[in-house]
Structure 1
Amino acid sequence: MDKIDFKKQLKHLYGPTARMGIHLVDVPAMRLLMVDGHGDPNTVPQYREAVETLYAVAYALKFASKKQLEKDYVVPPLEGLWWSSDMASFLTREKDKWDWTMMIMVPEWIGPAMIDKTIEAVRKKKAPPALDRLRVETLEEGRAAQVLHIGPYDDEGPVLKKLHDEFLPQNGLIRVGKHHEIYLSDPRKVDPSRLRTILRQPVK
């Protein structure tokens, strides 16, 4: 049985290189497992609970797909939408002001019935803490500017400033939607200097 890796299959969305710099992509509508929260992801229990719950359901869906549909895949990377009533807080890194939605993509061949059944199975087996806050939603971003950031999360500020204050105006674009991050590295296993994160901003 072949194992699908979306980072390779959707390389333009999940596999940009540092050499590409800031570039434009067209993002198709995607279904994602989502959990919302607020506050500093390093300190609020909500964040850890959200990520734990997302991975519990995402891996359960992977195993259900492999067993029932004979389609195996690598669980897609963790993603996050980030916003605040004061968007300057992202440049100043005032994380207690941040709102977020953490997400993991669901393959299109897994239907709503299998998702619902799998969530209930996870509830009976593990009951992760944010399961009642979990939802499945389609995200439609369309045209977006994105860039691969290599390094600590707290070093994103200058990259975002260049994206927002230089690239977008120079290309006649304005921001729409929420700041989007895709985490290609596991911060528990990778040195902060080598973390790889896609920074994405929907535009029009």
Structure 2
Amino acid sequence: MTQPKVDFKKILPGYQASLGRPALITTAPTRYFAVDGSGDPNTAEDYQQALQALYPVAYALKFASKDRGQDYVVPPLEGLWWAEDMDSFTRLRDKSTWQWSMMLLIPSWMTDADAEAAIQRVAHKSSPPEAVYRVRVMELDEGQCVQALHLGPYDDEGPLLEHMHHEFIPQHGLELTGRHHEIYLSDPRRAAPEKLRTILRQPVRRST
């Protein structure tokens, strides 16, 4: 019997956040399809190739799940971002120094073998995406995090990130750990820049 279509944005706590107001959450270990790269996402060909590989693989997994009676909306794109100097995300916004992993969530009921089969299914097409051979299955266990919702262009994230990193986190006896995490609730191809909704997440731990 076919189950109701799942929309992860509506049911997973990690996809909920308050506008401009950082809050503490605890995340569960989550598996993703991921492709790693570096450089400015606005200009790096590497970034576009990553997306061109991730989505076909994600849809291949979705169709496999649907064939078994469980359909779902492909989850929003997510990204891990890091650099040697974290100020490049807040004060400097120097995108040329950024490293990243772009990710799409794998539903909990689909196994690693299912995910690997989806990658192979896309890789064996007549004209596979160039970066499909870089798609990997990864598990992310961030634990305690601070996150908030940003509304507007990506380039305007700096003040909220600076508030999270330099005010909210130390004021709560926490320190940064892990990589800056973004969840893109809006499609930039369809939403105006001022209406883009992005969850900004930072893993944290208690200060020693």
Q: Same fold (TM over 0.5)?
A: yes
Q: CA deviation at 1:123?
A: 1.1
Structure with greater proportional helix content? 1
Q: CA deviation at 1:15?
A: 2.4
Partner-residue secondary structure (3-state), 1:174: strand
| Alignment gaps of 5+ in structure 1 | none
**CA displacement, residues 3-59 of structure 1 (integer Å, 9 cap, x when unaligned):** 01111111x21122327x110110000000010000000111100010111111001
Q: Which AA in structure 2 matches 1:172?
A: G
| Alignment gaps of 5+ in structure 2 | none
| 2:8 matches 1:6 | yes
Q: Which AA in structure 1 matches 2:85?
A: D
Equivalences, count: 201
| 2:43 matches 1:43 | yes
- Is residue 59–residue 74 contact of structure 2 (8 Å, CA) maintained in 1? yes
Q: CA deviation at 1:120?
A: 1.3
1:50-199 aligned at under 5 Å gives the runs: 50-67=50-67, 69-91=68-90, 92-125=92-125, 126-199=127-200
CA RMSD, 1 decimal: 1.1
Give me the whole-angstrom Cα distance separating, in 2, the residues matched to 1:42 and 1:159: 21
Partner-residue secondary structure (3-state), 1:160: helix
Partner-residue secondary structure (3-state), 1:93: coil
Give me the whole-angstrom Cα distance separating, in 2, the residues matched to 1:151 and 1:180: 17
Q: Which AA in structure 2 matches 1:142?
A: G
Q: CA deviation at 1:198?
A: 0.1
Partner-residue secondary structure (3-state), 1:18: coil
- Is residue 123–residue 133 contact of structure 2 (8 Å, CA) maintained in 1? no
122-131 or 39-48, larger mean C-alpha shift: 122-131
Q: Which AA in structure 1 matches 2:14?
A: L
Q: Which AA in structure 2 matches 1:103?
A: M
Q: CA deviation at 1:65?
A: 0.6
Q: CA deviation at 1:118?
A: 1.8
